[in-house]
Chains A and B, each alone.
Chain A
Amino acid sequence: MQYDAVVIGLSAGGMNVMKIIFSLLPKDFSTPVIIVQHISPRSDSQWIGLLNDKSNLAIKEADEKEKIKNGTVYIAPANYHLLIEKNKTFSLTIDERVNFARPSIDVLFESAAEAYKNKLIGVVLTGSNHDGAKGIKRIKECGGLAIVQDPKTAESAYMPTSAMAAVKPDYILSLEEIIDLLIKIDKQKE
């Protein structure tokens, strides 16, 4: 099976997790990766620059109307919801918070599921909120692949556990195993 995009959601303890992800993803990883991390509405985009130093891939904040490209990692800006349009471009909105969060993982996942259908991989990682549960369910309903971090290995188990209560994931793995799996799937593309 070929996949056209990976969406990832995480909250508490997310920063260290992000660093690990980016240090493990190789330079030739081609599937676009789109990430929502719960962060303070006041944070600016500088931390994305800091992540870039640690990464083999190009990491950038998602811009409104931007076309999603291979080999790129996109991060939702603070204080905006990130949505994906059918033509694989981004939209930003400042609607009400969802699950106390803006950006919300559910908002990204649901719109991504409908844009990418069965060509999407959804990943729910560590977090202390049930955001992402509805979204990962929607990804499965639309035929995509659902991966959840093994709660035993997550800094905060609440988010993975909520996701598993909402839907039966295709994989329950540690962070390192998830990255291995993503790399394997990505290689099949060529």
Chain B
Amino acid sequence: MKAKLNQYTPEIEPHMQSHLAAIVEAVYQKYGYDFRQYSEAHIKRRIMNRMAMSGLEDISQMPSKILNDEEFAFKLLQDLSITVTEMFRDPGFYRSLRENVIPILRTYPFIKIWHAGCSTGEEAYSMAIILQEEGLYDRTAIYATDFNQRALNRAKEGIFSNKLMKEYTANYQLSGGKESFSDYYTSNYDHVIMNQSLKKNIVWANHNLVTDSVFAEVHLILCRNVLIYFERELQNKTQKLFYDSLINGGILCLGAKEGLRFTDLYEKYIELDKKQRIFKKKY
């Protein structure tokens, strides 16, 4: 039975799982990106979207298309890596960061921070702004990593659409920012460029949370809205990676809807801010 375009019928559903598995396997074998333990409903939605846009007639053609057509595979990889992000997303989180985490960071002579799954960089720039305002940025190194090189390249440029600045300014102010947000960038027609002084201590690096190992030993890890895409077992494995990367007393920040409750490591952290999902590794 053929699955025509996006209009897949219930009858092909029994085979759907094996089609999806074959697609994800092809991506892994040829390109090394491992989506085998990502949430299936999510993967399926992205694959069916890509199929609808590609003009492929039958989902069973997709694995060979992936193996033979790098451009197509690259598009699919972009689909599977959701890069939606914002500056000062969840302002309440950044407010708590200022109140509860900055005082801890202040006690270290040199501060290392890891943004895992930094996407196009908005989160790392937000952090740099806070650190600058708190007078800590000069003794900080921010490692911002993602497995999506295209997103990383954009992050490095630090060029964002002017249209977004109104919302980001509101986020910044809600997060407790007191300066004029527009001082942090230069406007140029329809886009803005983030200040060089914010970029100077950020290292952008390609790192895959599934297939690469510990990245560095750090004082603070932010991994927000990445783990929601992982199945539970992979979440656990990734949490182990974070645990091993944090110094004792180090801080872990997760996304607004993410937690540690169901991981093996729940006991090994103290909740610094339950609502904002900020945890401190026990000594």
Contacts and interface: CB of A to CB of B under 8 A. Distances in A.
B109 interface: no
A168 to B, nearest CB: 17
A83 B45 contact: yes
Given A65-B262, A77-B257, A80-B257, A94 B45 contact: no
Of B13, B45, B92, the most chain A CB neighbours within 10 A belong to: B45
Q: Which bucket holds chain A's interface residue count?
A: 20 to 34
B13 A117 contact: yes
Of B9, B16, B39, the most chain A CB neighbours within 10 A belong to: B39
B41 interface: yes
Contacts of B232: 65
Interface string B217-248: 00000000100110010000000000000000
A85 B229 CA distance: 12
Nearest to A63: B257
B258 interface: yes
B166 interface: no
B10 A91 contact: no
Interface in A84-104: 84-86, 91-96
Of B228, B232, B257, B262, the most chain A CB neighbours within 10 A belong to: B257
B10 A93 contact: no
Contacts of A110: 45
B40 A93 contact: no
B257 A107 contact: no
A142 interface: yes
B42 interface: yes
A15 interface: no
Contacts of B53: none
Contacts of B229: 91, 93
Contacts of B41: 83-86, 91, 111, 114-115
B258 A64 contact: yes
Interface string B81-93: 0101000000010
B258 A93 contact: no
Nearest to B39: A91
B276 to A, nearest CB: 11
A91 B42 contact: yes
Given A107-B45, A111-B45, A93 B82 contact: yes
A141 B9 contact: yes
A71 interface: no
Contacts of A141: 9-10
A143 interface: yes
A64 B10 contact: no
A83 B45 CA distance: 10
A12 to B, nearest CB: 22
Interface in B229-283: 229, 232, 256-259, 262
Contacts of B82: 93-95
A143 B11 CA distance: 11
B39 to A, nearest CB: 4
Contacts of B84: 94-96
Q: Across chains A and B, which 5 residue pairs bring their CB atoms closest together, nearest first? A: A83-B41, A91-B39, A111-B41, A142-B10, A92-B228
30 contacts: A64-B257, A64-B258, A65-B232, A80-B228, A83-B39, A83-B41, A83-B42, A85-B39, A85-B41, A86-B17, A86-B40, A91-B42, A91-B229, A93-B82, A93-B228, A94-B225, A95-B45, A95-B46, A95-B82, A95-B84, A96-B84, A110-B45, A111-B41, A111-B45, A114-B16, A114-B44, A115-B41, A117-B10, A117-B13, A143-B10
